[in-house]
Structure 1
């Protein structure tokens, strides 16, 4: 799909009778991230799952400014308009959650509900933003100088993903292949253009979210568990679910609980809308 001058790869199962769920993957991911979840969800929901700019089969332009989170949001709006979708539920994991929060902040009228999995609204303090920009630029340098395999070897050893060691060898292989299939230039540009330090802070927007919000984190992911608790204090209509024995990638580490919590929450919201 041609979107504002860039070719986006978008998986969609849009059916006019079903509520739409826009699913946004994390860094080094693609729409394949949610392939098992989509198989279960598409029975009751229309799914729109794009490869975000610089990821998967979507274009990886060389202009850093093209990766700003605001322009990514504009791309998502265009995709939804092309599919004639006026409103949807928006789910984002990690980086995708930051994009989802930006989308909800800019276009609340398009959001029926927001699901943030292991995500944050950015960094509120300027000094933290600046240090994170420097860290992300170093990672981008690694991608550009050493290539995708060396980067993935490093990325997989981050403490953030330590809880994934218990996953099956088959699943770990699938995740690794998804990462290795990425365009290193696209990932580097994504880090430089829309990394956590580069994006605006959306903490001050959370109090304005009038739509229902589901926050989902893993009990083993202490950093994002704490962030979710802080977000919960600011969002008027929210539910926070902590999934036991899961780390950052809740949807991978406890897929059945992830799906049951998600579908139950969505069904409650849809029933409330009917009243």
Structure 2
């Protein structure tokens, strides 16, 4: 395996490009990708700048970004950078500070380096496989909550675009089940922060009923290294092909999964 610490340093430099642009540049033209799903000129600009930076620093590593058609991860690929230039674009365009640049390195389908920078919150998360998880260079650890009734649980965005009505029927059912069983339900609008905040212990769990690699790969690395439980919604081990993600304190993972699977 490559030197993950060296690649982490490159990833941090790259993510800082996105963070700086978000705090110094306007969104520019906002265009629709599909029904109620938007991209800004700045999303595309940041992606191009980060892609170019990574190509110079690591010309032998592939690249997958949300704003160039997206796609899936080929789990036989040796190494690939996976980027969301602005995770939480809707938040960003409305002046809501819950947005971040999320960058991961994936090795044969396994995220092994993750960097999430939320510039308006002054939060920087990073992790490498086997190297622990950190926020602003301080070690972080998932919560030790043991009771669902004392858990704060965030949920991913409701669906937009094709098939949204059908997808949202389950999301509404999951929201109701959580509302009736956990202490509080939250929706932050940025999957990277959902996962990072479980890793940090700010929240006790998150339920993401979709799995776009650019949204989740960095957060998967960080949450794993914080000792959080992270699984597919069906209880199997997480993989890039997982249809959904449940990330939580290890003490409530079974109870939470059973609750969600019933919906």
TM-score (norm 1): 0.28
TM-score (norm 2): 0.29
